[in-house]
Amino acid sequence: MTVYAGVRNPADGVGLGHPITLDITNADDVASLRELSLDGLVNNAGIAVTSPLEYVPLDELRRQLEVNTVAQLAVIQACLPALRRARGRIVNLTSISGLVVLPLYGPYAASKYAFEALSDALRRELRGAVHVSIVEPGAIATPIWDRGSATADALFAAMPPDAQERYGELVTTMRAEAKKQPVEGLPPEVVANVIAKALTAKRPRSRYLIGRDAKVSARLARVLPGRAMDAVLAAAIRSRR
């Protein structure tokens, strides 16, 4: 296969097949995708904004939704003519946070819940023309957690004293958990292998859950009512303090 790897910084494209400069929030970069001949599209760009919703700057929420949801659809729209011609496939990376949301993860989870909805709608609209699969990883050891923690620290530091008082203990606990992900999360190769299956399987699935944590969380969300799930998550967070 010829693999086009989208990178914002050309220096990051060394060794990545056929790198192309692609900031998915840049209209010109996205428009250039229309020139490619494609059999498959993998949407895996993303940022993580975490914050108490009571205090999250709305511009940060808009940035989160723009990168993780709106810009992803812009890429899909640009690539769909080629994918239709090839009767190709789309693989969208969402997250277990698109099914189960933890406290402070509201902005990030909102973007993933929305991308789940767009993916389901696309799969039904494109049925018979282009297949759409959703990949829902749990904790994966990638730099998104380091970058997300840095953003979260900066946002929280800029919040007023009452935010520090109300959410300080929760922020400390959740920050400690996030810092474990680059060490304890599954290696990215696990996700890459699942993506390859979704692109090449004779009968690709609509959804692929990855990781024990994701599978357990999704199962609990299906069987527990909302208040019971709230209690389970609250108990899990207390146990980590």
Q: Is 71 helix (H, G, I), strand (E, B) or coil?
A: helix
CA trace torsion 13, 19, 22, 23 (10° rounding)? -10
- Chain position carrying tokens 């900031």: 23
Q: Is 115 helix (H, G, I), strand (E, B) or coil?
A: helix
Q: Which sequence positions are flagged as catalytic?
A: 108
- Neighbouring CB atoms inside 10 A of 149's CB total 19
Question: Could you give the C-alpha distances from 51 to 85, 104, 114, 117, 153, in angstroms and in order?
Answer: 42, 5, 18, 23, 9
Question: Could you give the C-alpha distances from 175 to 104, 142, 148, 154, 180, in angstroms and in order?
Answer: 10, 16, 10, 12, 9
Burial 188-215 (b: 16+ CB within 10 A, else e): eeebeebbeebbeeeeeeebbbbbebbe
Beta bridge partner(s), residue 4:
18
Question: Could you give the C-alpha distances from 181 to 48, 149, 152, in angstroms and in order?
Answer: 13, 11, 15
Beta bridge partner(s), residue 137:
210
Q: What amino acid is encoded at 23 in this protein?
A: D
Q: Is 228 helix (H, G, I), strand (E, B) or coil?
A: helix
